[in-house]
Amino acid sequence: MILKHLLRPALLLTAAALTLGASPPLDWNRVVTRTPQQSTILGNPAAKVKLTTFVSYTCPHCREFELESDAGLKLKYIRSGKVSVEIKHVVRDPIDLTVAMLTNCGLKDRFPLNHSAFMRSQPVWIQTLARSSKAQQARWTTGELPTRTRAIAADFRFYEIMASRGYDRVTVDRCLADGAMAQRLAAGSEAASKLGVDHTPSFAIDGALLYGTDGWSLLQPQIEARM
């Protein structure tokens, strides 16, 4: 009887120690995977529901989707590991290409906040397009890739956005001269077109394109239905 009373507190202490030492549940928002096709998967690559978003950085509706969906996707779906989100780039013009090269600059773990920074500041930098001269537009579309992308980065003040993210000029220029990345982005855009993507944002779940779904209010119920 005495032995039983002595053992019980010891067992309780052991259980408490194991509980305190247990690892917290994995927050899948911290897991970022870069694919060979230059897209990025946020969350559990083996999630039950695999959402793909096709976005363009010069598309105002894509920015609206970013603002409307960001918190819900991260807090309710990605964090649990039940839903992953793959961001695929649709390159509509030289500005789109330049921004996509910058958001993918450096380590893959930097992509989510790079992506958010450019999407959320879009109303500011996109004004350069409306105010641009023919001479500026010529610089954006002629010459070698580094010449074009650096001209765009200078005119749209992308260097300042990247500096706010901790990138120096040398690193940014190296990314803007990455011809292999530019080819992967162009190929990914072409593949999206062949899949049937004719506007942005567009969405697919488990590889099936969602026709008639153009925003978060229509997308969220379809995610819920598959969980």
**Tens-digit pLDDT string for the chain (227 aa):** 544 444 455 545 455 444 455 566 789 999 999 999 999 999 999 999 999 999 999 999 999 999 999 999 999 999 999 999 999 999 999 999 999 999 999 999 999 999 999 999 999 999 999 999 999 999 999 999 999 999 999 999 999 999 999 999 999 999 999 999 999 999 999 999 999 999 999 999 999 999 999 999 999 999 999 98
| Domain carrying residue 181 | 36-225
Is residue 52 classed as helix, strand or coil in its secondary structure? strand
pLDDT at residue number 26: 85
Domain containing residue 61: CATH number: 1.10.40.110
Query: Is residue 86 situated within a structural domain?
Result: yes
Query: Is residue 73 situated within a structural domain?
Result: yes
Give the Cα separation of 192 and 54 in Å (integer). Answer: 8
Query: Is residue 2 situated within a structural domain?
Result: no
Residue type, 118: F
Q: How many domains does the chain have?
A: 1
Query: Is residue 190 situated within a structural domain?
Result: yes
pLDDT at residue number 17: 45
The residue assigned the tokens 């890739």 is 145
| 85 beta partners | 42, 51
Query: Is residue 20 situated within a structural domain?
Result: no
CB-neighbour burial class of residue 40 (10 A; exposed 0-12, middle 13-18, buried 19+)? buried
Query: Is residue 71 situated within a structural domain?
Result: yes
Query: Is residue 12 situated within a structural domain?
Result: no
Query: Is residue 22 situated within a structural domain?
Result: no
Give the Cα separation of 35 and 158 in Å (integer). Answer: 25
